[in-house]
């Protein structure tokens, strides 16, 4: 089994229900042909660096990115690409072969680096036992 990662940009005018059906269709194509779908990541809304044009849709300035990690035969790669190619909601797609686990997309946890605390945690304070009333 060969492992792949597919990045898909869905334009903002596409309905959420259509996008959900698109991901279900892609997963169905993978699973029916003895492949395995490992993960679907919603990478969120992003603006494009330049306006993109899709026939029948128009100019697109932003969209929602998705990442699919899957495994299957190399022939299956073309079928998955065709699933996204013939959908009007998909503006861009890219399928790459994963050679090593380090090649996969790693989402950033936060934009700003986290600062270390200035003081260590206070471990010497313990809660007082609850003393009953006399």
- Residues 50-80 have pLDDT tens digits of 998 888 888 888 999 999 999 999 999 999 9
Sign of CA dihedral 97, 80, 47, 105: negative
- pLDDT confidence of residue 100: 83
Per-residue pLDDT band at 35 (split at 50, 70, 90): very high
Per-residue pLDDT band at 125 (split at 50, 70, 90): low
For the segment 3-31, the average pLDDT, to the nearest whole number, is: 94
**N-to-C CA span, the chain:** 73
Check: CB of residue 46 under 8 Å from CB of residue 3. Answer: no
- Name the pTM for this structure: 0.73
Burial, 95: exposed, middle or buried (Cβ in 10 Å; 0-12, 13-18, 19+)? middle
Query: Residue 110 pLDDT more than 80?
Result: no
Q: Please, what is the angle between helix 16-32 and helix 74-85, to 10°?
A: 160
Tell me the average pLDDT of the chain: 85
Separation of alpha carbons 10 and 62, rounded Å: 9
- Alpha-helix residue ranges (DSSP H) falling in the chain: 16-32, 74-85
Per-residue pLDDT band at 104 (split at 50, 70, 90): confident
Query: How large a percentage of the chain has pLDDT more than 90?
Result: 52
CA angle 76, 21, 7 (to 5 degrees): 50
- pLDDT confidence of residue 63: 92
- pLDDT confidence of residue 131: 67
């Amino acid at each position: 089994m060969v492992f792949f990662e597919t990045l898909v940009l869905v334009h903002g005018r596409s309905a959420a229900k259509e996008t959900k059906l698109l991901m279900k269709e892609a997963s169905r194509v993978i699973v029916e042909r003895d492949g395995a779908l490992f993960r679907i990541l919603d990478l969120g809304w992003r603006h494009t660096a330049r306006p993109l044009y899709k026939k029948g849709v128009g100019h697109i300035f932003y969209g929602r990115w998705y990442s699919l990690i899957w495994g299957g035969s190399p022939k299956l790669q073309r079928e998955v690409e065709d699933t996204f190619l013939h959908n009007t909601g998909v503006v861009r797609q890219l399928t790459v072969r994963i050679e090593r686990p380090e090649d996969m997309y790693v989402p950033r946890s936060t934009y700003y680096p986290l600062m270390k605390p200035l003081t260590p945690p206070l471990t010497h304070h313990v809660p007082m036992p609850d003393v009953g009333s006399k």
